[in-house]
Amino acid sequence: MDMISQLSEDLIFRILSLVPTTDVLAMSCVSTRWRSLWNLVSRLEFDDNNHQNYHKRFSQFVYKTLLSNKAPVLEKLSLTLGPKCHAVDVGIWIGIAVSHRLRNLIVNMGTGSGPVTLPSSLFTCEILETLGLARCLVSDVPCFLPSLERLSLTDVDYTSLPKLLPGCPNLVLLIFKVIEDQREVDITVAAPASLRILELYDVRNGSKGGVHVIEAPSLMFLKIVDDVAYDSRRIKNMPNLMAAHVDITQGVTHRFLRALASARRLYLCVSLLSEVPTMIIHFSPKCSKVPPD
């Protein structure tokens, strides 16, 4: 007796959403009822790490799955891709997903991958809630993402930020990571009024950075981790800051630290310019609604 076929559709979709998309078709053979449901799965994850010798087959599978998907809303598309993946394919895949009412997109291009330019339709997707990009090129196009709440950028071209951030009026969480990009990076964060959490990571082992400016009037939680010798760090207008985690090994100024004075909960591990490295840890029980570190 096919007991799996007796499960509710909601439970079947839940099971299918927990396995890699490449296994969903194989699992559809387990039950006759599953065969008609696989193309309604709303969470798709593709990783070509295990298909390096069969990349053409992998690419065809991604096309077939996206074009066959009939879910009313595509809850998530996750792409983890290596250097054999063609940039034009990635752009088309994302464009197809956007046309399926995409809510959450994660694109992680591996080291050595060619530059991938994202389709302009992505930046006018009205229901997109989460966007995570690693080693992608952000198109120089007008941006309007009214539902976007979480944005994570790793080794992207930060010159696009002045056009990207104003188009995200409901952004709550913003994460920047600079890991491998050896260019001098100027980061200017003029955050929307909705932003509550900002995290900056720059771990390029002492290489020289650029200007690091933060202006976030509604920010409640700030985390900075870097060991880059920046020419300048400036923090402006953060009167509502409740918690800060600052771990900087290449020297900061007292002016920079004074900008954190409004924080009720503060963790510092810094090397002051021309002074002995100092660690200061301060926790205050008064702050009960601070996001976790």
- Model confidence over 213-261: pLDDT tens digits? 778 888 999 998 887 655 566 777 788 889 999 888 776 777 777 778 8
pLDDT at 122 over 80: yes
- Model confidence over 165-183: pLDDT tens digits? 889 999 999 998 888 766 6
Q: State the pLDDT at residue 286.
A: 42
pLDDT at 285 over 50: no
- Model confidence over 89-120: pLDDT tens digits? 999 999 999 999 999 999 999 877 777 888 98
Alpha-helical segments (H) within 121-168? 161-164
Q: How far apart are CA 280 and CA 293, in angstroms?
A: 16
- Model confidence over 4-60: pLDDT tens digits? 666 676 776 666 666 666 666 666 666 666 666 677 888 899 988 877 667 888 899
Q: State the pLDDT at residue 192.
A: 85
As separate numbers, helices (DSSP H) first and strands (DSSP E) second, the chain gives 6, 14
Q: State the pLDDT at residue 102.
A: 97
* Separation in Å, CA 288 to CA 86, 170, 222, 283: 48, 24, 16, 11
pTM passes above 0.85: no
For residue 224, the surrounding DSSP H or E stretch is: strand 221-226
More confident residue, 137 or 242: 242
